[in-house]
Amino acid sequence: MTKAWSILPDEWKPILTERGLRAFRADQILQALYRDYITDWDQATTLPKDFRETLKTEFPLTRAETLDVSESADGTKKLLIGFDDGQAVETVLIPATGRFTQCISTQVGCAMGCAFCASGAQGVVRSLTADEIVAEYMAGRRLGEITNIVVMGMGEPFANYDETLRALKLINAGRGPNLGARHITLSTCGVVPGFARLADEGIQFELSVSLHAPNDALRSQLMPVNRRWPLDELLAACAAYTERTKRIITFEYTVIKGVNDSRACAEELARQVRRVPMAKVNLIPLSPVAHRPDFQTPDEATMMMFLDVLMKHHVQTMLRRSRGRDANAACGQLRLRHLTKRA
Ligand code: SAH
């Protein structure tokens, strides 16, 4: 038995042949999976009934059920996606002019324990498999054509590297969903071994790195991963990555009031980022999280000051608006609410 959503489009023919099944059915299968977005093999009506029965047992479709939806005033939709073992993750759909971005999760919870992040508040339950990640994408895809994916939901993609990459390669595949690699962004908190592995793939995915602090003392306080891979190691891995791939790295910097928002922090951040050729910075105001009421959103003037300092140092910087806040869209919040409701 192999999960259908874990099979790359080009693998279908050989897999069918290997199991003594008719390889010419592969095209009809791909049509059903990636044009009709079936949730059950019985919906693949171009296939004969007995063949559908075989598919059901040999290549089951992973169930990803939408358990809860919350929609915010700006049109952002957050879905809670449940799997057969009762575990659930969040995926967020963000409409913008000419874009429909899906934010996907790769783990149930997260082991990284960043202080400001709701996903890490309860640790990690388990990693998603490739077919579950694809099924999660499909739940979003049924609501509209996805133009961009950001792997910025629950979980650390480099802590679930193989399954995450398999899912992204499938979503990128020409005879599958065919979403361009440059439209798919991976985000890591700085799990250093992942950088060389991703560079080795030779696929032009975009890469974001969650920095959030410009020195080890502060970063280790906010992000435990920094104790394992401190800034020197992280930035060296980033520099090696951009040199190897000639691809930009985007540093994410969530600004937290009174914590990492001083002018000195901005100056230090500019110095650090300039150690990496081809780096950009995204500044994001903190989304408040229930478990850390002491962490607050900075005011507009602070964001502008930060931006100003970085620009003066010729660091390419973007100010990001947080979207969907009224839909509990700050990482991990919908699942937390769901867990609380159940408890
Ligand atoms: N584990 C990956 C991807 C998931 S988090 C990573 O760390 O990059 C996606 C982004 O949201 C990260 O930059 C993360 O630090 C940020 N984030 C988490 N909680 C946040 C909050 N409360 N407000 C703003 N950004 C937050």
89 pLDDT band, cuts 50/70/90, is very high
Would the pLDDT of 335 be above 70? no
Question: What is the CA(131)–ligand 1 centre distance, in A?
Answer: 24
* Contact partners, residue 23, CB within 8 Å, separation at least 6: 12, 13, 14, 16, 17
For residues 335 and 340, give the distance between their C-alpha atoms in angstroms, rounded to a whole number: 9
Is residue 286 in contact with ligand 1, taking CB distance under 6 Å? yes
Q: Whole-model pTM above 0.75?
A: yes
Distance 189 CA to ligand 1 centre (A): 8
90 is catalytic: yes
**Do residues 238 and 279 lie in contact, with contact meaning Cβ atoms separated by under 8 Å?**
yes
List the one residue out of 153, 131, 149 whose CA is nearest residue 64. 131
Closest atom of ligand 1 to CA, residue 210? 13
- Residues 90, 132, 136, 156: which is the catalytic one? 90
Burial 212-232 (b: 16+ CB within 10 A, else e): bbbbeebbbebbbbbeebbbe
Catalytic residue check, 58: no
| Residue 342 reports pLDDT greater than 70 | no
* Beta strands at 148-151 and 99-103: parallel, antiparallel or unpaired: parallel
90 pocket-lining for ligand 1 (C-beta < 6 Å): no
* Rounded Cα gap, residues 281 and 268, in angstroms: 13
Model pLDDT, residue 72: 87
Mean pLDDT of the chain: 93
Q: Is the pLDDT of residue 39 over 90?
A: yes
pLDDT at 73: 87
Q: Hey, what domains does the chain have and what are their CATH numbers?
A: 4-58 (1.10.150.530), 65-342 (3.20.20.70)
Which of the four pLDDT bands, split at 50, 70 and 90, describes residue 146? very high
pLDDT band at 12 (very low <50, low <70, confident <90, very high): very high
Cα distances from 56 to residues 2, 19, 49, 59, in angstroms, run 10, 14, 11, 6
State the pLDDT at residue 330. 56
- Nearest atom (ligand 1) to Cα of 252: 13
At 331, is the secondary structure helix, strand, or coil? Answer: coil
**329 in contact with ligand 1, CB cutoff 6 A:** no
Q: Which two tokens stand for residue 264?
A: 């000195």
114 lines ligand 1 (CB under 6 A): yes
pLDDT in tens, 181-199: 999 999 999 999 999 999 9
